[in-house]
Amino acid sequence: MSRKSKSFTLIEVVVVIGVMGLVMGGLLSSMRQVIEGETLLKKMLEVEEETRFIMDTFAQDSEYSELFDEYKPDKENPGDIFSYVLQFNVAEKKSELGGEGSLDSKYTYGQGGDGYYIRRELTRDDNTVTSTLNNTPLKSRPVYRVRLIETPDGSLNYFITFSIVYRVILKDQEILIPVETSAMSRTFEF
């Protein structure tokens, strides 16, 4: 046997390295897409968790509190009221919020921080407790829409729609996630 039959030619080595490079490139590209997909999934799960918390908190505050008069449409002017801020007088469970001084307690929903974040303030007496309800920034300010609703028995309620648009950044791509919820504002007396 000759020595030539036991060795590889330069062309064979180049072809094998080229094929291996293509296979490795394909695998790396696939892994990059998997990692980007996982990152997007994690961000979407964070948005979902924040949304559940925000919507539950907002629905509870609006259902168990009384809307400030300046945000209430009336029968003479039944058109919707749009606002970037909304305020409620605390109407239920006042005793749990700090005793007698809580009679003037109020919730304020608005924009907080340097970016677009939802701020919720509970004010009682001269003390204000502020919470930011989301970590994922919004594309723009939250919008509140109040509509006067008359029930079949003739009573009036205020139907509040709360709209937000999350802004999720993935590399150079911006993904907008609109979310909207509604609640009825009514007062329960103790």
Distance CA 77, CA 141 (A): 26
pLDDT, tens digit, 9 for 90 and up, residues 32-86: 888 888 988 899 999 999 999 998 888 888 887 888 888 888 877 778 999 999 9
What's the farthest any 2 CA atoms get from each other in the chain? Answer: 107
pLDDT, tens digit, 9 for 90 and up, residues 10-30: 888 899 999 999 999 999 989
CB of 63 closer than 8 Å to CB of 70: no
CA 167 to chain centre: 9
pLDDT, tens digit, 9 for 90 and up, residues 118-158: 989 888 877 888 888 898 899 988 999 999 888 788 778 88
Distance CA 89, CA 106 (A): 4
Q: Give 151's DSSP letter.
A: -
Task: Provide the 10 A C-beta neighbour count for residue 181.
Answer: 16
Distance CA 75, CA 46 (A): 41
The whole-model pTM stands at: 0.72
